[in-house]
A and B are shown apart, each in its own frame.
Chain A
């Protein structure tokens, strides 16, 4: 069965960077885009970007360009999201999600369990 398992909660100082991992299993990792989405507790969902593990291509949301870096390691079927210059506004839950393989339908069919990032001095 398809699973996306994310790394554990992080506590960071303002100005630091955080790197969250998302390990995929149960499918061929390189055949599907991986997206990253974040959410404040009890609030809405914000798309950050996506990566194509096969070709390495990336698309970033305008709000995050220059501050977020998406990478992947195909040898261990893992995607990564690194966010720099952290502030208290970045204290959110971060999700990875798999883009559906249905042609023309780029919704998210499987999600990771979420990683809480806390930014505090």
Chain B
């Protein structure tokens, strides 16, 4: 199975900061990667698919990059609504696995 490793596990930041979360796959997944945001007690919400495509309705401050085994989610200017946990997910070759999550906390 393809393993997904995110870093950092926790990130402390302030409103307005630029933040980046990385995700590494245990083998190449081309660009078959999505990013999700999850808030306490709620289901995940997709932000990015195909590594860098913004899902409809998602603010443009979110962006994704990468291919193969290394991927990054960037929030250009952190907003109060962005404090949440973020997960990467690979969907290559009919298997689906998630990273362990990155919690973005208020500094």
Residues in A lying within 8 Å of B, measured CB to CB: 35, 43-47, 50, 59, 61-62, 95, 97, 100, 102, 105-109, 111-114
Contacts and interface: CB of A to CB of B under 8 A. Distances in A.
A46 B91 contact: no
B55 interface: yes
B88 to A, nearest CB: 10
B94 A107 contact: no
Contacts of B91: 105-107
Interface of B: 1, 32, 34, 36, 42-46, 49-50, 53, 55, 87, 89, 91, 94-101
B87 A45 contact: yes
B96 A95 contact: no
15 contacts: A44-B98, A44-B99, A45-B44, A45-B98, A45-B101, A46-B98, A59-B94, A97-B43, A105-B32, A106-B32, A106-B96, A107-B34, A107-B49, A108-B46, A111-B44
A112 B98 contact: no
Nearest to A48: B96
Nearest to B40: A42
A35 B96 contact: yes
A102 B96 contact: no
Contacts of B53: 105
Contacts of B100: 44
B9 to A, nearest CB: 11
